[in-house]
């Protein structure tokens, strides 16, 4: 700090105990506010439930429209190749991904609170949906060489739309129960390990299309291992045309993204749609070179034009897919909310976590009636949105407008597009997820426990299955929270001379222990689960076990009361040595024990009972216990449990540690106390 800013502040006030402070400062416990529907303004409820009604009338058309229009056009172009490619991960027709970029997006525009989230297909959730589709669809849809169903089961699209509807139900129920906080239990470490491992699943699922192989789709556990075994068994039957197309597309995309794109970004207002260009070129070359007929290349096939007719998903599937839907709902919500919060913080606006549940729930519900798979926010598209100047969710309307026009006539033109082109787009798009492997090294340096959660989650997802891996990671994260909760921070405090500051004496050399006073600092909750930990840490750091202390003192007193005959039979020096040895095991230099509760976040009745016991035990050896710095809820719990009215207890309560120290110094003549004047440097 500069010398001209250094100054000294003098604080002059009475010494307070908590009860006197409550009287002087007019303490009053706040009453609980209950939600009263009759006192709520209908317009406020409407604006909260349908946010578009609040912000759209205030939209600054001249200032923001151009940015939203460019952003919407850019995202529409990106959604065509991405939607078709990610549909392959969900095991549904390619056109489904474009539908998912329209109907859920328009619904989110009405109910969402994020200005930047680009809702639609996303690799991880599409892959999770694809697992469910593969599990419950008619197997004949996935048998090599078969194009028709046996008529005995559900089609992939039926399973996908049923999954989307079930995900919507889960999210709406979570919204009604205000369970948006569940997403906070998915730590950044867990999400990083899960999504990185999911990238290996995505990559593995595209290997057969990259090499042009015909292998059966694997389901159940260990799908990655089974798929790679099948790939190595069939590698001799590789389609070299498909492999050549894949390698060419990957090389072009990588060279563009790593070399050309950064330079163009400095000159162009919006990115060049390289993915769409590759899709168009691949379609044209495939059509004129007749790659399907001549080289047996797998192509997209029939794509309907126009918009899908609304239809009800099969409701009898809900019971079977509910567990998968819960997992998809939690993952998609956590990913979307984390993105929304990042950009809300960056651009200084609010995102309602529970309203996001309602928005995504309604989006998936509407989408399920229009042949859509579960939708969530995409990291890449959201980053592009803010990069090209998107201001509000109005970009969604622009994007959907362009896509609806494209759906009316574009579909049949893409029927000859090679599947290997879409597979190449997916593989290149995984770069960001694969780079998250570097997170493990960073996390390892910061916390070995976090790194363990990351690695076990990653390995479980890769080698077992995505839902099992997520469950394992979730349980590990909860275990980590519990373990850390059972390791509260404790220390003895020392006084910084001429200030009212008290610091950890192990960490600060200037923090001097006070003569005759022990200051014990406890950080964390004091509940039934931690009461023994609190007591043991207190006894360990203070160096006193009251019961043992009392027994030793009584033994010494009893020995001193022995008659002269008993002493005469002993050697006097040995007797005195025995007394001194017993005295060395006692703590005679402590006059007062102060418990710093300024960092105690919670206390229950068991914790208060423990405090009563400690106060009574220390009172038996003549050491009073002062409690200092309690927050309001902690203090109120102590009052309700009548902690300060116990006749056997010596506990007194003070608003600050300094008040407790000054009172102890006055009571036990440990120093001069004329006032509570304090001089501190700031």
135 or 583, which is more confident? Answer: 135
Residue 58 located in a structural domain: no
**DSSP summary character for residue 513:** P
> At which of 481, 497, 521 does a domain end?
481
Nearest-angstrom CA–CA distance, 643 and 606: 12
Do 433 and 447 contact (CB within 8 A), yes or no? no
Highest-confidence segment of 232-236, 297-301, 341-345: 232-236
Average pLDDT value for residue range 503-526: 91
Q: Does residue 562 sit within a domain?
A: no
Predicted confidence (pLDDT) at residue 148 exceeds the cutoff of 60: no
Residue 226 near residue 252 (C-beta atoms within 8 A): no
What pairs with residue 524 in β-bridges? 600
Within this chain, do residues 472 and 499 fall inside the same structural domain, yes or no? Answer: no
**Look-up: residue for tokens 């000859």?**
416
What are the start-end ranges of the E strands in 56-155?
Answer: 119-120
pLDDT at 370: 94
pLDDT at 677 over 50: no
Q: Tokens at residue 539, please?
A: 């006894």
Residues 492 and 567 sit within 8 Å (Cβ to Cβ): no
Are 432 and 455 contained in the same domain? yes
Tell me whether residue 511 is in a domain.
yes
CATH, residue 598: 3.30.750.24
pLDDT tens track for 193-220: 988 998 899 899 889 999 988 888 887 7
pLDDT for the residue numbered 304: 85
Q: Is residue 38 predicted with pLDDT exceeding 50?
A: no
pLDDT at position 485 over 60? yes
pLDDT of 553 higher than 50: yes
pLDDT score for 560: 64
Q: What is the pLDDT of residue 647?
A: 64
Q: What angle do CA 371, 469, 338 make, to 5 degrees?
A: 65
Q: CA-to-CA distance for 272 and 579, rounded, in angstroms?
A: 90
Q: At what angle do helices 61-89 and 379-387 cross, to 10 degrees?
A: 160
The residues, ordered by sequence, that sit 6+ positions from 130 with a Cβ below 8 Å of its Cβ are 89, 90, 91, 92, 205
Mean pLDDT score, 463-470: 88
8 A C-beta contact, residue 164 and residue 313? yes
Q: How far is 334 from 184, CA to CA, in rounded Å?
A: 8
Are residue 229 and residue 306 in the same domain, yes or no?
yes
- The answer to whether residues 325 and 171 touch, using CB atoms and an 8 Å cutoff, is no
Note whether 505 and 366 are same-domain residues: no
Give CA–CA dist 488/526, Å, rounded: 9
Total domains, the chain = 2
Query: Rounded to the nearest 10 degrees, how much is the dihedral formed by the CA atoms of 93, 97, 98, 104?
Result: 130
Domain identity same for 502 and 476: no
Q: Which of 25, 27, 26, 21 is nearest to 676 (CA)?
A: 21
In 3D space, the residue among 202, 24, 28, 207 whose CA is nearest the CA of residue 125 turns out to be 202
Contacts of 39 (CB under 8 A, 6+ apart): none
The residue ranking higher by pLDDT, 1 or 140, is 140
The pLDDT assigned to 146 comes to 47
pLDDT at 216: 83
How far apart, in Å, are the Cα atoms of 67 and each of 71, 385, 392, 546?
A: 6, 9, 9, 72
Pair 477, 493 in one domain: no
DSSP string, 242-290: HHHHHHHHHHHHHHIIIIIHHHHHTT-SS---HHHHHHHHHHHHHHHHT
The Cα 98–Cα 570 span in angstroms is: 100
pLDDT tens per residue across span 167-203? 999 999 999 988 877 766 778 888 889 889 988 998 9
Same domain, 423 and 295: yes
Answer with the one of 437, 462, 481 that is the final residue of a domain.
481
For residue 261, what pLDDT is reported? Answer: 82
Measured CA to CA, the distance from residue 453 to residue 472 in angstroms comes to 9
Question: Average of pLDDT values for 61-77?
Answer: 87
Q: Is residue 7 part of a domain?
A: no
Ranked by mean pLDDT, the top range of 355-359, 571-575, 637-641, 664-668 is: 355-359
Mean pLDDT throughout 291-312?
A: 88
Q: Indicate whether 565 pLDDT > 70.
A: no
Nearest to 347 by CA among 75, 122, 113, 188: 113
Q: What is residue 451's predicted lDDT score, i.e. its pLDDT?
A: 92
Burial class of residue 364 in the structure, from the number of CB atoms within 10 Å of its CB (0-12 exposed, 13-18 middle, 19+ buried): buried
* Per-residue tokens: 329: 């709902």
**pLDDT score of 83 more than 50:** yes
Q: What phi, psi does 513 have (nearest 5°)?
A: -60, 140
Whether residue 177 lies inside any domain: the answer is: yes
34 falls within a domain: no
Average the pLDDT over 524-536 and give the result.
90
Last residue of one domain, picked from the residues 457, 481, 505: 481
Cα 638 from Cα 89, distance rounded (Å): 57
Residues 601-646 have pLDDT tens digits of 889 999 999 999 999 889 888 889 999 999 888 998 998 888 876 6
Confidence band of 6 (pLDDT split at 50, 70, 90): low
**Among all chains, which residue has been given the structure tokens 């109907």?**
103
CB atoms near residue 288 (< 10 Å): 9
Cα torsion through 356, 361, 363, 364, rounded to 10? 140
Q: Is residue 456's pLDDT more than 90?
A: yes
Rg of the chain (C-alpha set): 35
Cα 676 to Cα 52: distance, rounded to the nearest angstrom: 57
Averaged over 260-267, what is the pLDDT?
79
- CA–CA distances in Å: residue 200 to residues 197, 204, 458, 465, 576: 5, 6, 10, 11, 77
For a pLDDT cut of 90, what percent of the chain falls above it?
A: 37
Tokens of 288: 């004129």
The answer to whether position 2 is within a domain reads no
3-state SS, residue 124: helix
Cα separation values, 362 from 173, 304, 327, Å:
11, 26, 18
Looking at residue 37, its pLDDT comes to 47
Return the SS3 of 627.
Answer: strand
Question: Do 515 and 476 fall into the same domain?
Answer: no
Rounded to an integer, what distance in angstroms lies between the CA atom of residue 552 and that of residue 474?
50
374 pLDDT above the threshold of 90:
yes
Question: Are 499 and 462 part of one and the same domain?
Answer: no
Dist CA 135 CA 554 (whole Å): 75
Q: Closest Cα to residue 88, out of 402, 420, 378?
A: 420
Alpha-carbon span 225 to 204, nearest angstrom: 9
* Model confidence at 648: pLDDT above 70: no
Strand duo 625-628 + 652-654: pairing: parallel
User: Mean pLDDT throughout 511-535?
Assistant: 91
Q: Is residue 558 part of a domain?
A: no
Q: Are residues 393 and 501 in the same domain?
A: no
Query: Exposed, middle or buried, 43 (CB in 10 Å: 0-12/13-18/19+)?
Result: exposed
Structure confidence at residue 147 (pLDDT): 47
pLDDT of residue 586: 57
Distance CA 598, CA 556 (A): 38
Question: What long-range pairs does 535-540 form, CB within 8 A, spacing at least 24?
Answer: 535/610, 535/614, 537/488, 537/490, 538/490, 538/595, 538/614
**Domain range spanning residue 601?**
489-544+587-681
Number of helices (H), then strands (E), in the chain: 30, 10
Are residues 303 and 359 located together in one domain of the fold?
Answer: yes
Q: Kind of pairing, strands 502-504 and 489-495?
A: antiparallel
**Contact of 313 with 162, CB cutoff 8 Å:** yes
Indicate if the pLDDT at residue 587 is higher than 90: no
Q: Is residue 641 domain-shared with residue 527, that is, in the same domain?
A: yes
Whether pLDDT at 239 is above 70: yes
Indicate the pLDDT class of residue 92, thresholds 50, 70 and 90: very high
* Lowest-pLDDT choice from 165-179, 245-259, 344-358, 637-651: 637-651
């Amino acid at each position: 700090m500069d010398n001209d800013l250094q100054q000294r502040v003098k604080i002059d006030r009475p010494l307070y105990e908590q009860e006197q402070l409550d009287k002087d400062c007019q303490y009053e416990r706040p009453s609980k506010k209950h939600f009263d529907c009759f006192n709520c303004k209908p317009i406020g409820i409407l604006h909260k439930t349908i946010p578009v009604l609040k912000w759209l009338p205030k939209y600054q058309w001249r200032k923001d429209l151009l940015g939203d229009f460019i952003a919407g056009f850019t995202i529409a172009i990106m959604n065509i190749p991405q939607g078709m490619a990610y549909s392959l991960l969900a095991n549904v027709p390619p056109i489904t991904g474009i539908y998912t970029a329209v109907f859920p997006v328009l619904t989110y525009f009405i109910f969402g609170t994020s200005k930047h989230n680009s809702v639609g297909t996303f690799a991880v959730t599409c892959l999770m949906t694809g697992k469910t589709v593969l599990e419950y669809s008619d197997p004949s849809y996935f048998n090599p060489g078969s194009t028709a169903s046996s008529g005995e089961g559900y089609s992939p699209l039926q399973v996908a739309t049923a999954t989307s509807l079930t995900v919507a139900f889960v999210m709406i129920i979570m919204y009604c129960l205000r369970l948006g906080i569940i997403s906070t239990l998915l730590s950044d470490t867990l999400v990083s390990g899960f999504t990185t491992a999911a990238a290996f699943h995505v990559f593995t699922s595209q290997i057969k299309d990259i090499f042009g192989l015909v292998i059966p789709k694997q389901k159940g556990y260990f799908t990655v291992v089974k798929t790679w075994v099948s790939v190595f068994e069939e590698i001799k039957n590789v389609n070299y045309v498909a492999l050549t197309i894949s390698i060419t597309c990957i090389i072009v995309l990588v060279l563009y993204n790593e070399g050309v794109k950064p330079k163009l970004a400095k000159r162009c207002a919006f990115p060049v749609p390289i993915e769409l260009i590759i899709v168009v070129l691949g379609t044209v070359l495939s059509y004129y070179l007749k790659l399907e007929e001549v080289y047996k290349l797998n192509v997209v096939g029939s794509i309907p034009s126009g918009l899908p007719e609304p239809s009800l998903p099969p409701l009898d599937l809900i019971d079977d897919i509910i567990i998968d839907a819960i997992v998809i709902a939690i993952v998609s919500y956590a990913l979307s909310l984390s993105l929304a919060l990042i950009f809300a913080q960056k651009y200084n606006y609010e995102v309602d976590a529970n309203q996001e549940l309602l928005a995504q729930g309604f989006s998936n519900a509407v989408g399920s009636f229009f042949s859509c798979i579960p939708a969530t926010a995409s990291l890449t598209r959201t980053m592009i949105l803010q990069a090209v100047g998107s201001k509000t969710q109005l970009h969604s309307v622009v994007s959907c407008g362009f896509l609806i026009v494209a759906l009316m006539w574009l579909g049949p033109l893409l029927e000859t597009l090679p599947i290997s082109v879409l597979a190449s787009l997916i593989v290149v798009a995984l770069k960001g997820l694969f780079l998250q492997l570097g997170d493990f090294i960073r996390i390892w340096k910061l916390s070995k426990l976090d790194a363990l959660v990351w690695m076990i989650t990653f390995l479980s997802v890769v080698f077992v299955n995505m839902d099992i891996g997520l469950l394992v990671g979730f349980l590990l994260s909860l275990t980590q929270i519990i373990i850390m909760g059972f390791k509260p921070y404790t220390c003895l405090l020392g006084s910084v001379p001429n200030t009212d500051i008290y610091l950890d004496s192990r960490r600060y050399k200037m923090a001097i222990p006070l003569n005759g006073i022990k200051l014990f600092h406890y950080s964390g909750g004091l509940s039934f689960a931690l009461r023994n930990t609190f007591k043991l840490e207190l006894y360990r750091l203070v160096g006193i076990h009251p019961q043992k202390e009392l027994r030793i003192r009584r033994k010494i007193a009893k020995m001193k009361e022995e008659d002269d005959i008993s002493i005469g039979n002993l050697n006097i020096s040995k007797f005195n040595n025995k007394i001194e040895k017993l005295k060395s095991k006692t703590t005679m230099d402590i006059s007062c024990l102060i418990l710093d509760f300024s960092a105690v976040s919670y206390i229950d009745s068991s914790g208060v009972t423990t405090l009563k016991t400690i106060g009574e035990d220390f009172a038996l050896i003549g050491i009073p216990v002062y409690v200092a710095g309690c927050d309001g809820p902690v203090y109120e719990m102590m009052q309700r449990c009548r902690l300060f009215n116990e006749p056997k207890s010596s506990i007194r309560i003070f608003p600050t540690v300094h008040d407790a120290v000054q009172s102890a110094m006055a009571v036990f003549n440990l120093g001069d106390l004329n006032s509570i004047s304090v001089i501190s440097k700031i």
